[in-house]
Structure 1
Amino acid sequence: MLLDGFNSFLGLLSAAMLVLAVVALVMALMAREDAYRAADKQKKSFWLIILGIVVAVNLWPIFIFLQIAGLIATIVFLVDVRPALKAVSGGGRRRGGSSSDGPYGPYNGGR
């Protein structure tokens, strides 16, 4: 009974890693090629190959080590590369605001 619960937990964990990898792959596909160069990151084709391999490894889980390595690559893309791409392509700015705006309005240095 305990083993069944552990296996279902691993199944849910594997499904979550697959969903995360697919989301990262779609985000990598949607970004422009020149944004990768402007953000000084690896090429778009590099990330598409890596994330495609991660999706394939998560579809057919053979070795847990490969899944963990894929999870690390997915997290690196989502935490490091994706925000840099958004900053370069202008996706991180709010409409109507300036770079000196804080969470409660413009910051003018107390003037």
Structure 2
Amino acid sequence: MDILNIINALRDTDRAIEVIYMHGSCYRFHLFLKKLFPQAKPLISNDKDHIITEINGQYFDITGEVEAIDYRPLELDEIEMVQNWSFSKSRLLSLGDCPSCDEPILTGF
């Protein structure tokens, strides 16, 4: 299986996919990749705000292949924290602009 083809196919299913997995659901994306690639390992940013996945010496998130600069292996005591990260708990989606007032129409989950 080609990792980048899988990531691109998923990301291309809807333009909201990248936003969701980059803003709160990056650990869930890692778990998705781990189902397909059991050797996958999570790395957390030094700022503790993003997870990327290491597979066979390459690093990935929903945007594709990334560099692991300022990332380190996720520690056992951090797993509970990242499991609680959620796009749906922390973000809103824009449904477009109101045709009458041009204000964004936002919705939560």
Q: Identify the structure with the greater helix proportion.
A: 1
TM-score, normalised relative to structure 1:
0.21
TM-score, normalised relative to structure 2:
0.21
Higher RCO (CA 8 Å, separation ≥ 6 residues): 1
- For the pair shown, the structure with the greater C-alpha radius of gyration is 1
